[in-house]
Amino acid sequence: MAFLLGYAAATIAVLLCILHLFHRRLCCRHPLLTDYPFLGMLPQLLTNLWRCHDFCTDILKQHGATGEFTGPWFTKMNYLITSDPINVHHIMSKSFPNYVKGPEFRDIFQAFGDGIFTADSEAWKYNRELFHALFKHKSFEVFLEKTIHNKVQNSLLPILDHVQGKVVDLQDIFNRFTFDNICCIVLGRDPNCLSIGFPEVAIEKAFNEAEESIFYRHVVPRCVWKLQKWLQIGQEKKMTEACKTLDQFIYACIASKREEQCKYKENETGEAHADLLTAVMREGKGHEDGFLRDAVFNLFVAGRDTITSALTWFFWLVATNPLVEAKIVAEMKDKLGSSEENSGVEEVKKLVYLHGALCEALRLYPPIPFERKQALKADMLPSGHGVNPGTNIVLCLYAMGRFEQVWGKDCMEFKPERWISDKGGLIYVPSYKFIAFNSGPRTCLGKDSSFIQMKMVATAILRKYRVQVLQGYVATPTLSIVLLIKDGLKVQITKREF
């Protein structure tokens, strides 16, 4: 009798397993990977996590740029994944109101608070209008140019002089440079992270750890990282400690700014600070500390990590493509001359080939490699894939830059010429195809200032130095929400005769 009961239970279990698998196959009509019972597609993703971005690119190429990913049973790891520009245009522009960040996104990106990157609806509109008003002022461009110029001349170039002939991590140098720079722009203070001795700065380290933890939340079931958060173990413990460090730093800066403002009211001769935190506090005098904290955090990520990523991959590509480097240097000599003073905003805007090279680096290595959206209502994508209310969608921006049908058979080549017309001008590429700065109403407000900063740094370095990557060194993308190079970019710096 016991044998029969055991046999019956086993039979029922097998039937339930078959029914579960059949149900999942019906629900997932365009599977990207093998859909295992109970575990879904997660095992294959975890097996290839070390090459996550390239793995996703390979899979999407095999499935027409769009497909479905299902996670383990009883988890919410079900996504529609796409790199199809037409789908991206539909989601980011044509049907923009239907696709939001959503509560799950804000839960994962909790460190960002309710800032512009995580906000939806009216909160997002308010943030957008506020920062647009600040960025469009001519005074901001002047302030930005002065800040970058001073940091380049007083810190970046002296450091590169100091490390000549030595093996140095150029990504670390850029990380420190952009951190100091964004502190000056947002807070009006320079922490001198980029200085001889390369001191460790706790706040800079905290940003890196928070971003790595956010990526981790994308690749494990929600119940797992929620449990780790509750127990304060593993990656979630790092996230908690990082956020504590960040909050202490940011709130201290806010308190200091409020004291400064009180002094300026008492002393009318005090000079007005042009940093963004002061400007935000003046624009909306009723802003609470929580709003200012989220604004500062979002500005830091936008102005620090993305620029670090773009500059690092740009110099990796230039250093490994000597013909491109020669053309950039030749253009600089032709358009800027020999004087170092000819590297301001108006001068670097003339550098068309350099602009094309930067666009190529951003195409192949977008600083933000993926974007998340959630559907409010049922919809049908141009590719024919149905979207249900609540469907989570992942846009793989990294993969899009590697599709032959989008960029041609030479899509894996670093080819600045693809951005330049026969007449020598820049070729316009729609943002849903070249999506390094997002697309549609959420297009990055700092796009123009980012190009200015990158060009000023690139011209300052390439005018004086030759960057040589160590022989045999291979750049591998990190596992983070920002696309950096794992273990840094190891190079040698030598003088250049300009």
How many residues in total does the chain contain? 498
Buried b / exposed e over 294-316, threshold 16 CB at 10 Å, is bbbbbbbbbbbbbbbbbbbbbbb
How does strand 66-69 pair with strand 79-82?
Answer: antiparallel
64: alpha, beta or left, given left = phi > 0 and alpha = psi -120 to 50? left
Nearest to 452 by CA among 135, 226, 238: 135
Helix axis angle, 276-283 relative to 170-187, nearest 10°? 30
Side chain identity at residue 16, one-letter code: L
- Beta partners for residue 375, in sequence order: 99
- Residue 63 and residue 99 in contact, taking contact as beta carbons nearer than 8 Å: no
- The answer on whether 444 is annotated among ligand-binding residues is yes
Neighbouring C-beta atoms of residue 212, cutoff 10 Å: 18
Distance CA 70, CA 35 (A): 7
Give the count of alpha carbons within 13 A of 452, CB side only.
19
- Residue 432 and residue 443 in contact, taking contact as beta carbons nearer than 8 Å: no
Distance CA 42, CA 28 (A): 14
- Residue 131 and residue 438 in contact, taking contact as beta carbons nearer than 8 Å: no
> Which residues are annotated as part of the binding site for heme?
444
> Which residues are annotated as part of the binding site?
444
